[in-house]
Structures are given as structure tokens and as C-alpha cells.
């Protein structure tokens, strides 16, 4: 893999850290800025909304610029946003800074996915995307725990100063290592947004929303599940979350390599495995060993969806890959918010925490069903439903259109 991917991965590490580390710092932020813990929690919601809104809008707005220049601008916005977080004098300024940072977050991952595929040969494109997202998985394993530790001992602002330093190094690395990638004359904003009229693009987005939505239906409430149902001590949950992060790292890389060989079969297998793990939580949550194994497998299958789903949207985007990729990043965040909402409604309805797993499995299985329908269109649908960039007679993986396997065959 080109060394330029490491610079992109370092940016992804900083972005992943700043997104999730706030959860461990909420009490410190609330006390320092004199707001309630609920108001502090809205900093998480505000960030998610920034990703959903900013990803497609900012990507389309910068679409006529060269890819490298766009990445550098987004890295600069991310750097400035974290710097503003570190010096924010009030809750309102911190919220605005988080929103600005999140806008760069979504657009960065969308553009970085396109840039990564342009740095390697066609048979390694999914692995290149996985390499970029590895930075985000490492953030969950190392960045968030270390950032929380730093913030709790030196003040929450110190964490954002550290992320600002990481963003600076990453921006310099991108400037030095990422080459100027030749691209055709970029389409207009209106032409970019027309990508949403393509049926396969919409189906790919729905696969992401439902397939990944099952993850956060359960994971949002993983701490009370592991303490109240499984019986782990609160101090142990932190180590179990490191186990989850390790699973993220493994699943991301393995699925990336698999998607390079067979894209749609990888989508089918990962979503089916994710659904099985979520369903197993219903029983496994009553046993400590089984629950720990499921936490690891949940991480592996959850992030195993990312490289193949990003590749799927790129394969169907035609001449608007950046905007389509950014919309998919938004779709992941819609999945996060929607899954959390559904999980909360299940609990509010009086159901036990152990029922979250089966409910989440049904949501991810819905994503699998949509993926199966989309895959069938590759073979039997209209010509416009097929991979626009593929060679005649082949699908996105270079295989015969008549041999795209079903989920059962996969």
C-alpha cells in the first residue's frame, strides 16, 4: 500500500478520536462550562448532525477542486475546529466548533475513499479504503481511551489540544505524501446531486442505513447491558470496549481484502454474520465468557461492513463518486442515530436489555434483504442498474453478470 494512505489514516485517527472521546469527557465538560449533563450530551447529537448535513453538501461544494486540494482544505477545517474546541469559552461556541468539525469529518471520509482508490490498482481498492478507515478503528482501540485518560487528568481541553496536534501532523503528511491525482473535468453541483436519482445508489444507501443500523441499536446500550444483565463490573467494561475496538480493526482489514476479490458476496456474508452476532447477544448476554466473545465479534462484523459498502456505492456512482461516497458516510450516521432511537424505544416500552440483540438483528437482516435485491438487479435489472464503470459483460468485481451469487450461494 502507498505510504500516502498512512497520512490519510492518521487524519482518520484524529477524526475518530474527536468524535467518540467526548462521551468519556461529558461530566468534565458539563462542570467546566456550567451546563447539565443532558446539555453536554447534545454535543454528541450535534456532531452527528454535522456529519449528516456536511458530508454531501461540503463535498459537492468543493467538487470542482482537485482532490488533493479538497482533502487539504477539509483537513484544515478539522484542525481549526478542534483548535476552537480547545479554547471554546462557552457551551455555544463548543457546540458550533463540534458542528464545524463534523462537517469536515463526513466530507473527509467521502473524498478520502475516492482518493484512496485512485492510489492503487483496481484489485486493491477495497483494501485501500480499509487502510484509511483503519485510522478510525485504531482511534477506538487507543485514541479514545488515551484521550479520555488525558482529559480526566489534565482537563478536557488538553484532549482537544492533542487532537489538534495530530491534525496538524496529518495535514502536513497529506501535503507531502498524497500525489496530485488526475481527474476528468468535474461535473456541476446539479449533476453531482443527480446521483441520487440512480436506483442502485439509493439501494446502496438503504443497505448502509439498515445494515449498520442494527449495530447501534445494541451498541448504544452496551454498557448497561454488560453491567446490569451480564454482571460485569463497570471498571471491566472499558477493557471489553478495547476488545470491541480490536474486533473493529480485524474486521475492517479482513473485509477489505475479501471485497477486493468478491464484492457482493462479501456484503452478503458480513451482513449475515453481523445479524447472527446481534441475535446471539440475546442469549450470550447472560454469560460473561459468551458476552465477551460476542463483543469481539460485534466489532469485527460491524466494521467489516464499511469497506464493501463504500466500494458498492462507488461502483454505482458513475461520474459522481465523491458525493455518493459522502452520502454513504451520512448514511452510516443516520444508522447510528436511528439505531440508538429504536433501541431507546425498545427499552422505554418495558422490554429487557437482552431483547436489544434480536431487535437489532432484524434491522440488519433488512439491510441484507435490500442488498440481495440490489445484487439481483446487477443481473436482471435495467442496464442503468449495473456498474457504470465496469467493463461490458462484467460487474463491479470483474465477474460475469450472470454469475453474481445470491446470499444463499455466498
Check residue 397 and give its pLDDT: 39
Phi, psi of 227 (to 5 degrees): -90, -50
Residues of the chain with pLDDT > 90: what percent? 31
Residue 40 lies in domain: 1-186
Identify which has the larger pLDDT, 23 or 207. 207
Bridge partner residues of 394 (DSSP): 400
Identify which has the larger pLDDT, 60 or 262. 262
Asked whether the predicted pLDDT for residue 233 surpasses 50, the reply is: yes
**Is residue 79 domain-shared with residue 182, that is, in the same domain?**
yes
How many of the other CB atoms lie within 10 Å of CB of 106? 30
Integer Cα distance of 266 and 275 in angstroms: 14
Q: Would you give the end-to-end CA distance of the chain in angstroms?
A: 28
pLDDT digits (tens, 9 = 90+) for 284-324: 989 999 999 999 999 999 989 988 998 898 888 877 777 78
**Is residue 205 domain-shared with residue 335, that is, in the same domain?**
yes
Whole-Å CA distances, 239 to 93, 135, 293: 33, 20, 13
Average confidence (pLDDT) over 372-392: 67
Could you tell me the three cell numbers for 167?
A: 491534525
**Is residue 166 domain-shared with residue 225, that is, in the same domain?**
no
Check residue 132 and give its pLDDT: 85
**Is residue 206 domain-shared with residue 111, that is, in the same domain?**
no
**Is residue 349 domain-shared with residue 204, that is, in the same domain?**
yes
pLDDT digits (tens, 9 = 90+) for 25-36: 777 888 899 888
**Is residue 294 domain-shared with residue 335, that is, in the same domain?**
yes
Q: Which residue has the cell 488515551?
A: 146
Identify which has the larger pLDDT, 38 or 332. 332
Average confidence (pLDDT) over 232-258: 84
Check residue 13 and give its pLDDT: 92
Q: Which residues contact 19 (CB under 8 A, 6 or more apart)?
A: 47, 102, 105, 139
Asked whether the predicted pLDDT for residue 137 surpasses 70, the reply is: yes
What 3 state SS string does 126-163 have? HHHHHHHHHHHHHHHHHHHHHHHHHHHHHCHHHHHHHH
Check residue 269 and give its pLDDT: 95
Domain boundary among 155, 186, 217: 186
**Is residue 218 domain-shared with residue 239, that is, in the same domain?**
yes
Selection from 106, 83, 217 nearest residue 160 by Cα: 83
Integer Cα distance of 173 and 241 in angstroms: 30
Integer Cα distance of 149 and 249 in angstroms: 21
Minimum mean pLDDT among 18-22, 42-46, 87-91, 145-149: which range? Answer: 42-46
> What is the per-residue DSSP string for 104-126?
HHHHHHHHHHHHHHHTS-GGGHH
Please count the CA atoms within 13 angstroms of the CA of 407 that sit on its side-chain side. 17
Residues shown for the chain: 410
**Is residue 204 domain-shared with residue 163, that is, in the same domain?**
no
Check residue 386 and give its pLDDT: 59
Average confidence (pLDDT) over 66-87: 92
Q: pLDDT band at residue 379, thresholds of 50, 70 and 90?
A: confident
Q: Which residues contact 252 (CB under 8 A, 6 or more apart)?
A: 130, 133, 134, 137, 303, 304, 306, 307
Asked whether the predicted pLDDT for residue 100 surpasses 60, the reply is: yes
Asked whether the predicted pLDDT for residue 406 surpasses 60, the reply is: no
Q: pLDDT band at residue 37, thresholds of 50, 70 and 90?
A: low
**Is residue 155 domain-shared with residue 239, that is, in the same domain?**
no
Q: State the CATH number of the domain containing residue 55.
A: 1.20.1250.20
Check residue 84 and give its pLDDT: 95
Asked whether the predicted pLDDT for residue 247 surpasses 50, the reply is: yes
Check residue 396 and give its pLDDT: 39
Domain boundary among 154, 186, 218: 186
**Is residue 210 domain-shared with residue 89, that is, in the same domain?**
no
Whether the CB-CB separation of 217 and 345 falls below 8 Å is answered with: no
Hey, what long-range contacts does 227-233 have (CB within 8 A, 24 or more apart)? 228/353, 229/285, 229/286, 229/352, 229/353, 229/354, 230/285, 230/286, 230/287, 230/288, 230/291, 231/288, 232/288, 232/291
**Is residue 235 domain-shared with residue 347, that is, in the same domain?**
yes
How many of the other CB atoms lie within 10 Å of CB of 202? 16
Total number of domains in the chain = 2
Selection from 158, 142, 302, 360 nearest residue 238 by Cα: 142
Check residue 87 and give its pLDDT: 94
Please count the CA atoms within 13 angstroms of the CA of 403 that sit on its side-chain side. 7
**Is residue 180 domain-shared with residue 198, that is, in the same domain?**
no
CA 290 to chain centre: 26
Check residue 391 and give its pLDDT: 36
Domain boundary among 186, 209, 224: 186
Check residue 385 and give its pLDDT: 60
Identify which has the larger pLDDT, 45 or 312. 312
Q: Which residue has the cell 454531501?
A: 56
Check residue 38 and give its pLDDT: 66
Check residue 61 and give its pLDDT: 78
| pLDDT, mean over the chain | 83
Check residue 244 and give its pLDDT: 86
Q: pLDDT band at residue 401, thresholds of 50, 70 and 90?
A: very low
Amino acid at each position: 500500500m502507498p505510504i500516502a494512505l498512512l497520512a490519510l489514516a492518521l487524519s482518520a485517527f484524529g477524526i475518530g478520536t474527536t468524535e467518540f472521546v467526548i462521551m468519556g469527557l461529558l461530566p468534565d465538560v458539563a462542570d467546566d462550562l456550567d451546563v447539565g449533563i443532558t446539555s453536554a450530551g447534545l454535543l454528541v447529537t450535534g456532531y452527528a448532525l454535522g456529519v449528516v448535513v456536511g458530508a454531501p453538501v461540503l463535498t459537492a461544494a468543493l467538487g470542482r477542486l482537485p482532490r488533493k486540494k479538497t482533502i487539504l482544505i477539509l483537513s484544515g477545517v478539522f484542525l481549526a475546529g478542534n483548535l476552537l474546541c480547545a479554547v471554546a469559552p462557552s457551551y455555544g461556541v463548543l457546540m458550533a466548533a463540534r458542528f464545524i468539525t463534523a462537517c469536515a469529518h463526513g466530507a473527509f471520509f467521502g473524498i478520502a475513499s475516492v482518493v484512496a482508490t485512485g492510489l492503487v490498482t483496481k484489485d486493491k481498492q477495497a483494501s485501500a479504503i480499509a487502510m484509511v478507515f483503519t485510522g478510525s478503528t485504531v482511534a477506538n482501540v487507543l485514541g479514545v481511551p488515551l484521550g479520555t485518560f488525558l482529559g480526566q487528568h489534565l482537563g478536557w481541553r488538553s484532549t482537544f489540544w492533542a487532537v489538534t496536534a495530530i491534525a496538524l501532523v496529518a495535514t502536513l503528511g497529506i501535503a507531502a505524501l498524497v500525489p496530485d491525482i488526475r481527474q476528468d473535468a468535474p461535473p456541476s453541483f446539479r449533476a453531482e446531486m443527480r446521483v441520487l436519482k440512480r436506483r442502485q445508489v439509493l439501494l446502496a444507501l438503504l443497505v448502509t442505513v439498515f445494515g449498520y443500523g442494527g449495530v447501534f441499536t445494541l451498541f448504544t446500550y452496551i454498557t448497561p447491558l454488560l453491567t446490569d444483565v451480564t454482571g460485569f463490573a463497570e471498571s471491566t467494561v472499558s477493557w471489553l470496549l478495547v476488545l470491541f475496538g480490536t474486533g473493529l480493526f480485524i474486521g475492517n482489514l479482513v473485509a477489505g481484502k475479501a471485497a477486493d476479490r468478491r464484492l457482493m458476496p462479501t456484503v452478503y456474508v458480513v451482513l449475515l454474520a453481523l445479524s447472527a452476532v446481534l441475535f446471539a447477544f440475546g442469549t450470550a448476554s447472560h454469560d460473561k465468557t459468551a458476552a465477551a466473545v460476542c463483543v469481539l465479534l460485534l466489532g469485527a462484523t460491524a466494521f467489516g461492513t464499511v469497506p464493501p459498502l463504500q466500494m458498492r456505492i462507488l461502483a454505482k456512482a458513475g461520474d459522481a463518486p465523491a458525493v455518493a461516497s459522502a452520502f454513504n458516510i451520512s448514511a452510516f450516521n443516520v444508522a447510528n442515530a436511528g439505531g440508538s432511537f429504536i433501541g431507546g424505544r425498545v427499552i422505554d416500552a418495558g422490554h429487557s436489555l437482552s431483547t436489544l440483540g434480536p431487535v437489532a438483528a432484524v434491522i440488519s437482516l433488512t439491510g441484507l434483504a435490500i442488498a440481495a435485491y440490489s445484487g439481483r438487479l446487477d443481473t436482471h435489472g435495467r442496464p442503468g442498474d449495473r456498474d457504470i464503470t465496469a467493463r461490458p459483460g462484467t460487474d463491479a468485481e470483474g465477474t460475469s453478470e450472470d454469475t453474481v451469487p445470491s446470499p444463499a450461494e455466498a
